[in-house]
A = this chain, B = another copy of it.
Amino acid sequence: MSAQAPSARTRVRTKPDRARYERDIQYAILDEALLCHIAFAVDGQPYAIPTTYGRIGDQLYVHGASASRLLRTLAGGVPVCVTVTLLDGLVLARSARMHSMNYRSVVILGTATAVIDRAERLTALRAVIEHAVPGRWREIRPPTDRELNETAIVRVPLDEASAKVRHGPALDLQADLTQPCWAGVVPLALTAQPLIPDARLADGIRVPDEIAHYTRP
């Protein structure tokens, strides 16, 4: 996919060498992460709320309880910022100044719009669940009309976005190499721990491979 020209608002100004405007890089980050933080303002006070999401093409979908402040505010068509961050490691340098983190993040600016159409609502919910566990949708009971009505869904276009990536070693000054301390990177990854099967699991139900060996793409 081609690079997306940054807007005046998404151009990375601090450490511009970390900026990534290619959509495929941005979408790979969005597809790997599980959580976003969605920011909006109410009476001048910003809020940043963590939530799950799904992506379909150039649209991001966020869902939640229809009655929640988050979804009621978002459905009103307000400006939002959706930020997704993957923490890849601690960069331990020999000086305080050069300590850093390896990370990949995407910042999306846009306006959230309520999704009304029933077919799009179902497709969006499916995308949210498949985002976390590919293949899960065909296994589970789909939402009833009542459940669907209790769920608010908003769409945020991915037209105005930028990614920022820091990777690699500590960038110590030559003069600091004599500092007698360990330096290097502590890589970090979100990893699945041993499964906790539901207490009410029926006999003979097996764990699908994609859950037994859960990893992110």
Contacts and interface: CB of A to CB of B under 8 A. Distances in A.
A85 B35 contact: yes
Copies in the complex: 2
Interface residues of A, number: 98
Given A96-B141, A109-B45, A139-B181, A199 B169 contact: yes
A211 B183 CA distance: 10
**A47, A96, A169, A178: most-surrounded residue (chain B CB, <10 A):** A96
Contacts of A52: 101
Given A50-B105, A81-B46, A198-B183, A65 B14 contact: yes
A170 interface: yes
A37 interface: yes
Given A46-B40, A132-B99, A189 B197 contact: no
Interface in A155-214: 169-170, 172, 176-202, 205-208, 211, 214
B211 A83 contact: no
Contacts of A214: 90, 186
Contacts of A129: 96, 99
B14 A92 contact: no
A67 B14 contact: yes
14 contacts: A34-B90, A37-B48, A46-B48, A48-B82, A48-B107, A52-B101, A93-B140, A94-B140, A95-B142, A95-B143, A95-B147, A99-B129, A182-B211, A185-B198
